[in-house]
Amino acid sequence: MIKYLIVAAVLFVIYIAFFKKTAIKEEKEQKNKDKKNSGDIMIECSECTTFVSESEAIIKDGKFFCSKQCANLR
Ligand SMILES: [Zn+2]
């Protein structure tokens, strides 16, 4: 009977350890997702100093611009 209890206890510990690992992994993945969604890098426009997200910025001659208008001014 004690043997079964030990086996059950070991299985329980393994189950808890596995479950915790999975939970932490999911939490990390969730944090990474949040970073990707909200952590868009803001870049200052070289012309009018307006901040635009990296995905919307226009790169010209190694400088960042908020719009085509600003990019064409120089
Ligand atoms: Zn601009």
Give CA angle at 12 (11, 13), nearest 5°: 90
CB distance 53 to 41 below 8 Å: yes
Centroid of ligand 1 to alpha carbon of 66 (angstroms): 4
Say whether pTM exceeds 0.75.
no
Amino acid at 2: I
Distance CA 15, CA 1 (A): 21
For residues 60-69, average pLDDT = 92
2-28 per-position pLDDT tens digit: 889 999 999 999 998 988 888 877 777
Distance CA 46, CA 64 (A): 6
Centroid of ligand 1 to alpha carbon of 62 (angstroms): 15
